[in-house]
Amino acid sequence: MTGLWSLFLTAAFVDNMPLILFLGLCTFLALSKRPESAFGLGVAMTGVLGVTVPLNHLIYTGLLAPGAWAWAGLPALDLSYLSLIAFIGVIAASVQVVEMVLDRFFPAIHAAFGVFLPLLTVQCAILAGSLFMVERSYDLAQSAVFGLGSGVGFAIAVSMLGAIRTRLDYAELPAGLRGLGIAFILAGLMSLGFASFAQMAAAQ
């Protein structure tokens, strides 16, 4: 149990997706101008990551991993090179389902997301969650915890950046630094803060 909890914390803070691993930065920067949209993105990321990583784990171990077809008399079959396409398909389908569920039961949230929900399909952080899960050979429970933890970490980081960027509206920045430039510098400072979590984990 402690193993899962520490995996959650590691995924959320030490290996923070946008700030330490540089994943999902396009939406991270594009949607963090306002805190509301930033928070919404964080929630959606958590939901989609929490669903797709365990789902992809089932598909990978059941169909694609080397030796997965041993029961059918094909122990040498290795379909793992197909995992990219399979994962993308699962992610696209999950995003579609999440979108339909939100549209049916929570229309207000759905309206707030607008066009950004379908764009989660091509979010590198979400695909990376599944790829890391394969690379680090997590089991099913670990995959689920890892997906949730990464999502929560993303949500925290993007909400913080959104909150800081609203305040910057009133700062008098050098013209060339306005917008994207200062967002990078801010992300760098936040990344510096999150990097210290790695030291804490190492000292433990």
Partner 1 sequence: MAERVDYAAILTEPLIRQNPVTLQILGICSALAVTTTLATALTMSISLTVVLTLSAGLISAIRRHIPNTIRLIVQIVIIAALVIVIDQVLQAYFAEISRALSVYVGLITTNCLVLGRTEAYARHHAPPAAMVDAFGNGLGYSLVLLVIGGLRELFGKGELFGAQVLPLADAGGWFTPLSLMLLAPSAFFLLGLLVWAVRSRVPEQIEPPEHTPPLRTEPAE
d(CA 121, CA 124): 8
Q: Which is nearer to partner 1, 123 or 159 (CB)?
A: 123
Residue 8 CA from chain centroid, whole number: 13
The conformation of residue 115, written as its DSSP 8-state character, comes to T
List the one residue out of 142, 160, 139 whose CA is nearest residue 18: 160
CB of 46 to partner 1, least distance (A): 18
Choose between 139 and 178: whose C-beta lies nearer to partner 1.
178
Minimal distance, residue 73 CB to partner 1, in Å? 26
Angle in degrees, CA 188, 190, 194, rounded to 5:
115
Query: To the nearest whole angstrom, how small is the minimum distance from the Cβ of residue 2 to partner 1?
Result: 27
Report the residue number, 70 or 82, with the smaller CB distance to partner 1. 82
Pick 89 or 107: Cβ nearer partner 1: 89
Measured from the CB of residue 131, what is the shortest distance to partner 1 in angstroms? 4
Beta carbon of residue 188, minimum distance to partner 1 (angstroms, whole number): 3
Q: Could you tell me the end-to-end alpha-carbon distance of the chain, in angstroms, rounded to an integer?
A: 17
Q: C-beta of 125: minimal distance to partner 1 in Å?
A: 8
Give the integer Cα–Cα distance in Å for 116 and 48.
13
Nearer to partner 1, 71 or 78 (CB): 78
Query: Residue 123 is encoded by which pair of tokens?
Result: 């979010």
For residues 182 and 96, the answer to whether their CB atoms sit within 8 Å is no
Nearer to partner 1, 121 or 159 (CB): 121
Which residues lie near partner 1 (CB under 8 A)? 19-26, 29-30, 33, 81-82, 84-85, 88, 92, 121-128, 131-132, 135, 169-172, 174-185, 187-189, 191-192, 195
Phi, psi of 69 (to 5 degrees): -100, 20
The neighbour count for residue 10, using CB atoms within 10 Å, is: 19
